[in-house]
Amino acid sequence: MMSSVQYYLIAGRGCRGEANSSSNYINVIGGFVGVEGTGFVVNGSAFYFNGFNAYWLMLVAANANATANATATATANANATATATATAPQRGEGLDFVVSEAGKHGIYLILSLVNNYKDFGGRPQYVEWARDRGENVTSDDDFYRNEIVKGYYKNHVKTVVTRVNTISRVAYRDDPTILAWELINEPRCEDDLSGATLQGWIAEMGGYVKSIDRAHLVEIGMEGFYGASSQFRKQFNPNGLVFGTDFVPNNQVQGIDFATIHAYPGIWLSNWTNEEQLRYLRDWTQAHVEDSAALVKKPLLFTEFGKSLRDSGSGVPQRDALLEAAFDSIYGSAQNGGPLAGGLFWQLLTDGMDGLKDGYEIILSLNSSTSKIISNQSLRLWNLAGKHQAISTETRG
């Protein structure tokens, strides 16, 4: 989906508080999230995720009259992720507010550094800036090739990663509230379906982020489409579509710490029945679980999935069924020591945000059945984390 801000509710254990000496700001995050093999860890203990997307969060926080929505969202939920795609002062201060509120509420963030689409100044804007400068760029996919454009992106990355939060006084690259940096939301390069262009860009930019921030994890932001190196797996691409991405080699890049997938069966397979879409969702997820474990050998996070209430034949029961199917796949993997450790549905809103409704919106206070499904997933992942923590303690003892 077109997103600039992602907001994740995360299930975890072992939080602690850290006071900043230059202010009254207290961060209760439990520590930097890391990876061990195909799992996520915090302070050596297994860590699992249950959450949501909220692309509006930073933009709302930039509006002094609307910051209550951002605070209310953080207060009502346990953990989160945000995206930074703009460097205007008010936007930067809005993101500062989101990050500081997240830290105060024990919320982890994933910050995505650019959008694939034109929304919120995505990669087409970078290409347009280069064109205005006189560069011979003819396609939005020149974002991945043109050295001037890549320089613009690196400048933006450095500005965000090294930014010092005006509220907490902590540099972003030193803040454990940030779980990971996402290189780009839903990258695609249809000018080069071989995957070579994107593969090179991922290696270059993943390495660049790591060169200025060794503390945080880095992920690509992929939907999970297979490419030329995975001919058999391409059967799982909806309708056989390819977009110049290749799940396995893209995520095998050294500077990438974990893999991601998205799934929107209602969009991808709109002519299929709801039951057929659920079966596809399970198969899509399982293929990526298997490949993350055996080939990529890194953790996996399901960072976007949802079902629109505007789809033909769709209502709350059908949406709930999709959420349950996704959550069951996630929990099944986590319970068996697999790489899939969490999921983040699209999208969460708070009451009164009618202008942002897109059919996918979930308002917890107005959707009791959906809220219960989400809460149950958080609870069982929380309990699983506690069980693993106890086993680890017994082993060390």
Q: What is the pLDDT of residues 305-330, one digit of tens each?
A: 999 999 989 999 999 999 999 999 99
pLDDT at res. 69: 53
Amino acid identity of 125?
Answer: Q
Based on the residue annotation, tell me whether 304 is a catalytic residue of this protein: yes
How distant, in Å, are the alpha carbons of 54, 92, 94, 167, 298 from that of 64? 18, 13, 9, 14, 40
Q: Which of 43-57, 209-223, 339-353 has the lowest mean pLDDT?
A: 43-57
Catalytic residue among 182, 186, 219, 223: 186
Q: What is the pLDDT of residues 70-128, one digit of tens each?
A: 454 544 444 333 333 334 445 588 899 999 988 998 889 899 999 999 987 899 999 99
pLDDT at res. 28: 77
Where do the DSSP E strands lie in the chain?
18-19, 26-27, 33-36, 39-42, 45-46, 49-53, 109-112, 178-182, 217-219, 259-263, 300-305, 340-346
Q: What structural domains and CATH numbers belong to the chain?
A: 18-396 (3.20.20.80)
pLDDT at position 304 over 90: yes
Would you place residue 41 in the very low, low, confident or very high pLDDT band (cuts 50, 70, 90)? very high
Instruction: Report the percent of the chain where pLDDT is more than 70.
Output: 84
Catalytic residue among 182, 223, 304, 361: 304
What pairing do the DSSP bridges indicate for beta strands 259-263 and 300-305? parallel
pLDDT at res. 1: 57
Instruction: Report the percent of the chain where pLDDT is more than 90.
Output: 72
Q: What is the pLDDT of residues 264-285, one digit of tens each?
A: 999 999 999 999 999 999 999 9
Based on the residue annotation, tell me whether 135 is a catalytic residue of this protein: no
